Amino acid sequence: MHLATEPDSYFSVDSNFTESMRQKTRRSRALIEESGLPVLVSTPDLLREVEGAKLLPIVVDPKVWATTDLPFQTSRRPCVVHAPSSSHIKGTDLIDKTMHRLHRLGLIEYRRLAGMRHREMLDVYRSADIVLDQFRGGPYGVAACEALAAGRIVVSHVPVHVRKLTHELSGLELPIVQSTAAELEDVVASIVADPGDALKRANQGPGFISHWHDGRESGHVLSQWLDSRLPS
């Protein structure tokens, strides 16, 4: 499904990886069918891939990531951070040259980070103006949620159907700036030239996370499942 809908799909890069994931997918689908148990998924895209699944939203602690340091509040070059948990999945190879070129031109300060400890990401996000998440087409995950909670401008390729599902389920628009890898240079340059609209989205980030990813919705989903298992 991903290969059919995403031109830059991470399944198109490495045939060994793709075949490995095909095998895991077959095992997962067989387990779901054989068990007959309820299925909870952590990202909206999986709702259309697993019939009857229910969303159990990712949980982050908004208070941990909250900061009073806002993007674009200093005279320095805007700091653009990309700290992929997996460069293969996140599409680092699709954006690195472009961001380094913008760095050399003096438009931005580009920081591509690897091997960071989780606790170090607090300072990384607080020092960033723009956080680049992933560009091979997929859901937003924990890293994007943490950056949103920190009030950063988050740029990522989140497909339309994921955005629509997120809106339908949460009642809020996903405050991530949309960009494919091919569009990223223009998107970043546009934000730097006039950050107003992007800053509005960044301001919505902490509220979105507090509303949908602070654990209350996930607790509600789990309590509904537990209540359904109690004897009548």
pTM: 0.93
pLDDT score for 232: 67
pLDDT tens string 48-104: 888 899 999 999 999 999 998 889 988 889 999 999 988 989 999 999 999 999 999
Which segments in the chain show pLDDT lower than 50? none
Torsion sign, CA atoms 132, 156, 20, 13 = negative
pLDDT score for 57: 97
Torsion sign, CA atoms 122, 123, 129, 134 = negative
Contact indicator for 153, 177 with CB cutoff of 8 Å:
yes
Which is nearest to 84 in space by CA: 96, 73, 100? 96
pLDDT tens string 74-88: 888 999 999 998 898
pLDDT score for 138: 83
- Cα–Cα distance, 111 to 95 (Å, whole number): 12
Q: What is the 3-state secondary structure (H, E, C) of the chain?
A: CHHHHCCCCHHHCCHHHHHHHHHHHHHHHHHHHHHCCCCEECCHHHHHCCCCCEECCCCCCHHHHCCCCCCCCCCCCCEEEECCCCHHHHCHHHHHHHHHHHHHCCCCEEEECCCCCHHHHHHHHHCCCEEECCCCCCCCCHHHHHHHHCCCEEEECCCHHHHHHHHHHHCCCCCCEECCCCCHHHHHHHHHHCCHHHHHHHHHHHHHHHHHCCCHHHHHHHHHHHHHHCCC
Domains present along the chain, CATH in parentheses: 2-60+216-229 (no CATH), 62-211 (3.40.50.2000)
